[in-house]
Amino acid sequence: MLKNPVRMMRHGRPGAPSRQRGISLIEVLVSVVVLGIGLLGVAAMQSIALRGGQSSLESSQAVIQTTSILESMRTNAANAASYNTADWVCTAGTGGTLAQNDMRDWIDSLKTTMGTADDDTTCGRISGCPDACVIGVRWNDERAGGEAERTIETRSAI
């Protein structure tokens, strides 16, 4: 006959030690901690992926913008040399000639797609036209996790 029937009913087998109560609670707490650390890792990876995606988008926009002004220059090929800038242009100038209007629209478009309207870090530069045009776009990529200043150049002849 069993010595303690209460112990058998409580644990399902005779002679089970009573000190094992609460072990499942510790296991649950450890599991929650491990799951929490795993979810934090997933959130960090998601954040890095979003920043990388933003940087990639801005690089693609820069290439599209260089192609855009290049096509405008090809349309106005007779005056292609008037698109050359002495240095980086960070603010849209006033209109006048077709080349000045194209430059103003291009700089405004750069600010809209890659920066903000009052951002002085998003700039464009054109040199060497009409023979060997070098079109550059410079912007701040820190927000997307990149370098403080990033530049893309497109080279083409008109």
58, 121 contact by CB (below 8 A)? no
Quick check: is 112 in a domain?
yes
113, 65 contact by CB (below 8 A)? yes
Quick check: is 94 in a domain?
yes
Q: Mean pLDDT, to the nearest integer, of 9-33? A: 72
Least confident segment among 34-38, 42-46, 115-119, 149-153: 115-119
Overall domain count for the chain:
1
Supply the range of the domain harboring residue 146.
56-156
Quick check: is 62 in a domain?
yes
Quick check: is 37 in a domain?
no
Measured CA to CA, the distance from residue 109 to residue 112 in angstroms comes to: 5
CB atoms within 10 A of CB 141: 21
Quick check: is 120 in a domain?
yes
Q: Per-residue pLDDT tens for 86-136?
A: 899 998 888 789 999 999 999 999 998 887 666 788 999 999 998 899 999
Quick check: is 141 in a domain?
yes
Local confidence band at 72 (pLDDT 50, 70, 90 cut-offs) = very high
Using DSSP's 3-state secondary structure scheme, residue 127 falls into: strand
Least confident segment among 27-31, 50-54, 84-88: 50-54
Quick check: is 22 in a domain?
no
What backbone torsions phi and psi does residue 37 show, to the nearest 5 degrees?
-65, -40
